Amino acid sequence: MTTVLILNGPNLNLLGTRRPEVYGTATLADVERLCQREAREAGLEPVFRQSNHEGQLVDWIQEAGIQAAAGDCLGAVFNPGAFTHTSVALHDAIEGVRLPVIEVHISNVLGREEFRHHSWISPVARGTIIGLGIHGYPLCIRALTMTARA
Ligand code: DQA
Protein backbone atom coordinates (compact mmCIF):
# COMPACT_ATOMS: atom_id res chain seq x y z
CA MET A 1 0.00 0.00 0.00
CA THR A 2 1.26 3.49 -0.82
CA THR A 3 2.33 5.37 2.31
CA VAL A 4 1.92 8.99 3.33
CA LEU A 5 4.39 10.40 5.85
CA ILE A 6 3.01 12.59 8.66
CA LEU A 7 6.09 14.34 9.97
CA ASN A 8 6.19 16.59 13.03
CA GLY A 9 9.14 18.62 14.26
CA PRO A 10 10.24 19.99 17.62
CA ASN A 11 7.87 20.43 20.54
CA LEU A 12 4.88 19.02 18.68
CA ASN A 13 5.03 16.06 21.06
CA LEU A 14 3.80 18.61 23.64
CA LEU A 15 0.55 19.30 21.79
CA GLY A 16 -2.34 19.46 24.24
CA THR A 17 -0.37 21.03 27.08
CA ARG A 18 1.88 23.55 25.30
CA ARG A 19 0.28 27.01 24.97
CA PRO A 20 -3.29 25.69 24.56
CA GLU A 21 -4.50 29.24 23.84
CA VAL A 22 -2.41 29.10 20.64
CA TYR A 23 -2.32 25.41 19.70
CA GLY A 24 -5.53 24.10 21.31
CA THR A 25 -5.94 21.14 23.63
CA ALA A 26 -5.85 18.30 21.10
CA THR A 27 -2.83 16.01 21.36
CA LEU A 28 -0.51 14.49 18.76
CA ALA A 29 -2.47 11.25 19.24
CA ASP A 30 -5.61 13.16 18.18
CA VAL A 31 -3.74 14.39 15.08
CA GLU A 32 -2.84 10.78 14.31
CA ARG A 33 -6.45 9.65 14.66
CA LEU A 34 -7.64 12.32 12.19
CA CYS A 35 -4.89 11.39 9.73
CA GLN A 36 -5.53 7.67 10.10
CA ARG A 37 -9.16 8.18 9.09
CA GLU A 38 -8.32 10.45 6.13
CA ALA A 39 -5.53 8.16 4.91
CA ARG A 40 -7.69 5.06 5.15
CA GLU A 41 -10.43 6.73 3.08
CA ALA A 42 -7.81 7.59 0.45
CA GLY A 43 -6.41 4.04 0.46
CA LEU A 44 -3.09 5.17 1.93
CA GLU A 45 -1.03 3.85 4.82
CA PRO A 46 -0.05 6.68 7.18
CA VAL A 47 3.43 6.63 8.72
CA PHE A 48 3.78 8.89 11.79
CA ARG A 49 7.09 10.38 12.87
CA GLN A 50 7.97 13.15 15.36
CA SER A 51 11.41 14.37 16.38
CA ASN A 52 12.92 17.29 18.23
CA HIS A 53 16.14 16.83 16.23
CA GLU A 54 16.81 18.48 12.89
CA GLY A 55 19.15 15.76 11.56
CA GLN A 56 16.61 13.04 12.31
CA LEU A 57 13.99 14.96 10.31
CA VAL A 58 16.48 15.30 7.42
CA ASP A 59 17.05 11.51 7.49
CA TRP A 60 13.32 10.76 7.39
CA ILE A 61 12.78 13.22 4.52
CA GLN A 62 15.58 11.58 2.53
CA GLU A 63 14.12 8.12 3.21
CA ALA A 64 10.64 9.22 2.15
CA GLY A 65 12.09 10.86 -0.96
CA ILE A 66 13.64 7.57 -2.05
CA GLN A 67 10.33 5.80 -1.41
CA ALA A 68 8.43 8.51 -3.31
CA ALA A 69 10.77 8.13 -6.29
CA ALA A 70 10.03 4.40 -6.26
CA GLY A 71 6.28 5.09 -6.19
CA ASP A 72 5.86 3.67 -2.69
CA CYS A 73 5.18 6.96 -0.88
CA LEU A 74 2.79 9.70 -2.01
CA GLY A 75 4.57 12.44 -0.09
CA ALA A 76 4.65 14.08 3.31
CA VAL A 77 2.52 16.29 5.50
CA PHE A 78 5.13 18.27 7.40
CA ASN A 79 4.86 20.54 10.41
CA PRO A 80 8.51 21.59 10.94
CA GLY A 81 7.67 23.55 14.13
CA ALA A 82 10.27 26.22 14.89
CA PHE A 83 12.66 24.72 12.29
CA THR A 84 10.29 26.27 9.72
CA HIS A 85 11.89 29.61 10.44
CA THR A 86 15.53 28.51 10.73
CA SER A 87 16.34 25.37 8.78
CA VAL A 88 18.15 25.58 5.47
CA ALA A 89 18.99 21.87 6.03
CA LEU A 90 15.31 20.87 5.89
CA HIS A 91 14.78 23.11 2.84
CA ASP A 92 17.72 21.43 1.09
CA ALA A 93 16.59 17.91 2.05
CA ILE A 94 13.11 18.39 0.56
CA GLU A 95 14.53 19.98 -2.55
CA GLY A 96 17.32 17.42 -2.82
CA VAL A 97 15.05 14.36 -2.90
CA ARG A 98 12.10 16.14 -4.57
CA LEU A 99 9.71 14.90 -1.90
CA PRO A 100 6.16 16.21 -2.41
CA VAL A 101 5.46 18.08 0.83
CA ILE A 102 2.46 19.96 2.11
CA GLU A 103 3.59 22.24 4.93
CA VAL A 104 1.14 22.56 7.80
CA HIS A 105 0.94 24.89 10.79
CA ILE A 106 -1.65 24.60 13.51
CA SER A 107 -1.55 28.30 14.34
CA ASN A 108 -1.79 31.17 11.87
CA VAL A 109 1.91 31.95 11.81
CA LEU A 110 1.30 35.05 9.65
CA GLY A 111 -0.76 36.61 12.42
CA ARG A 112 1.92 36.00 15.04
CA GLU A 113 5.41 37.38 15.74
CA GLU A 114 7.39 38.70 12.79
CA PHE A 115 10.04 35.93 13.10
CA ARG A 116 7.35 33.34 12.29
CA HIS A 117 6.44 35.02 9.00
CA HIS A 118 9.37 33.57 7.08
CA SER A 119 9.42 29.89 6.16
CA TRP A 120 12.43 28.08 4.70
CA ILE A 121 10.09 25.22 3.84
CA SER A 122 7.37 27.02 1.82
CA PRO A 123 9.53 27.61 -1.31
CA VAL A 124 10.13 23.86 -1.66
CA ALA A 125 6.67 22.71 -0.52
CA ARG A 126 3.91 21.93 -2.99
CA GLY A 127 1.56 24.00 -0.82
CA THR A 128 0.87 25.18 2.69
CA ILE A 129 -2.10 25.01 5.05
CA ILE A 130 -1.91 27.25 8.10
CA GLY A 131 -4.11 28.36 10.95
CA LEU A 132 -6.81 25.68 10.83
CA GLY A 133 -5.77 23.89 14.00
CA ILE A 134 -5.22 20.15 13.76
CA HIS A 135 -7.83 19.97 10.97
CA GLY A 136 -5.08 21.18 8.66
CA TYR A 137 -3.40 17.76 8.79
CA PRO A 138 -6.13 15.67 7.12
CA LEU A 139 -6.67 18.52 4.64
CA CYS A 140 -2.99 18.17 3.69
CA ILE A 141 -3.45 14.45 3.02
CA ARG A 142 -6.42 15.33 0.81
CA ALA A 143 -4.30 17.97 -0.95
CA LEU A 144 -1.54 15.42 -1.63
CA THR A 145 -4.00 12.97 -3.17
CA MET A 146 -5.66 15.69 -5.29
CA THR A 147 -2.35 16.97 -6.64
CA ALA A 148 -0.57 13.63 -7.09
CA ARG A 149 1.45 13.57 -10.28
CA ALA A 150 1.80 10.45 -12.39
C1 DQA B 1 3.93 25.80 14.45
C2 DQA B 1 4.29 27.29 14.36
C3 DQA B 1 5.76 27.52 14.65
O4 DQA B 1 6.08 28.90 14.55
C5 DQA B 1 6.09 27.05 16.05
O6 DQA B 1 7.46 27.19 16.30
C7 DQA B 1 5.65 25.65 16.30
C8 DQA B 1 4.33 25.24 15.82
C9 DQA B 1 2.42 25.57 14.27
O10 DQA B 1 2.04 24.44 14.02
O11 DQA B 1 1.62 26.50 14.41
O12 DQA B 1 6.31 24.88 16.98
O13 DQA B 1 4.60 25.09 13.44
- How far does the centroid of ligand 1 lie from the alpha carbon of residue 1, in Å? 31
**What's the whole-number average pLDDT of the chain?**
97
Higher-confidence residue: 47 or 150?
47
Atom of ligand 1 nearest to the CA of 79: 13
Contacts of 48 (CB under 8 A, 6+ apart): 6, 8, 32, 35
Which residue's CA is minimally distant from atom 6 of ligand 1? 82
Kindly report, residue by residue over 84-95, the tens digit of the pLDDT: 999 999 999 999
Contacts of 84 (CB under 8 A, 6+ apart): 9, 103, 105, 109, 116, 119, 120, 121
Which residue's CA is minimally distant from atom 7 of ligand 1? 81
| 69 has pLDDT over 90 | yes
62 within ligand 1 shell (Cβ under 6 A)? no
Which residue's CA is minimally distant from atom 2 of ligand 1? 81
105 within ligand 1 shell (Cβ under 6 A)? yes
Check residue 136 and report its DSSP letter: H
Q: Which SS3 state, helix, strand or coil, does residue 96 take?
A: helix
pLDDT value, residue 148:
86
Q: How confident is the model over 116-124, as a mean pLDDT?
A: 98
| Whether 105 is catalytic | yes
